Amino acid sequence: MKKTIKKIEKSKKTLRIAKYALMTVLLMLSFATPVFADDPLAAINGLSTFIFSAIKAIGMILLGFGIVQIGLSLKSHDASQRANGFLTFFGGVIIAFAKDILDLIL
pLDDT score recorded for residue 89: 93
Same domain, 54 and 81: yes
Same domain, 27 and 47: no
pLDDT score recorded for residue 35: 58
Burial class (CB in 10 A: 0-12, 13-18, 19+), 92: buried
Same domain, 45 and 22: no
Does the model's pTM come out above 0.85? no
pLDDT score recorded for residue 1: 64
Same domain, 57 and 95: yes
pLDDT score recorded for residue 10: 75
Same domain, 19 and 69: no
Q: Residues in the chain with pLDDT < 70?
A: 1-3, 32-37
Which residue in 84, 98, 100, 91 sits closest to 62, CA to CA? 91
pLDDT score recorded for residue 2: 66
pLDDT score recorded for residue 12: 79
What CA–CA distance (Å, rounded) separates 68 from 47? Answer: 32
Same domain, 15 and 47: no
pLDDT score recorded for residue 92: 93
Q: Which domain holds residue 7?
A: 1-32
